[in-house]
A = this chain, B = another copy of it.
């Protein structure tokens, strides 16, 4: 009494992971069925099920009906990447956050952008350019377009003190988002804003969000040299 309070699905996960690590169950091995494991661990099948389901979601094992459960050969483990607001990111490492609005204009988008945002012929967008500083050093240059048709009150919003990101997050929901990262050489404009040499390698993040097939916003985030996107998994 007291020692074996209850068998938790966590215990089972740990036990299974341990056996995979110490090669009792090497890659490709067929694991015992749920009923068998439930007997071994002295718990209900549902408990084993939850443990194995989570391991499967984490990409450690592969489950198929009738075929059974196998240890994944190539653990295509999913990295979980938290994408924070710039402000939180900067304050997170103890620097002072400062924001500045650089440019603001309602425009008819050029063709390339219209395609990318899948806009209709007459639809206009609000174009914004902002700078985010960490301890007075430029940290991120934000080049953003917002679909006025989807966010009709955005032209009235005041972005002189707060960035559009925080405004959008609190005000406009979205259903899908896509993000991609790449490296580019700084154009003269970007170089000027970020205080780097033209042509210098800059880390670029692009993000688009949709609200049921309609583009809400598309943004390019240019990070200062030396920026690293980090993740553990």
Partner of A74, one of B76, B170, B173, B212: B170
Is there contact, CB below 8 Å, between B169 and A74?
yes
Is there contact, CB below 8 Å, between A231 and B180?
yes
Whether A229 is near chain B, meaning CB under 8 Å from some CB there, is yes
Whether A226 is near chain B, meaning CB under 8 Å from some CB there, is yes
Cα-based distance from A178 to B230 in the complex (angstroms): 8
Cα-based distance from A20 to B21 in the complex (angstroms): 41
Known contacts A78-B82, A232-B176; A73/B170 CB under 8 A: yes
Other A-B pairs beyond A80-B81, A180-B231, 17, CB < 8 Å: A20-B173, A73-B169, A74-B170, A76-B83, A77-B83, A77-B177, A79-B81, A79-B83, A81-B231, A178-B230, A178-B231, A179-B231, A180-B230, A182-B203, A182-B226, A183-B202, A185-B201
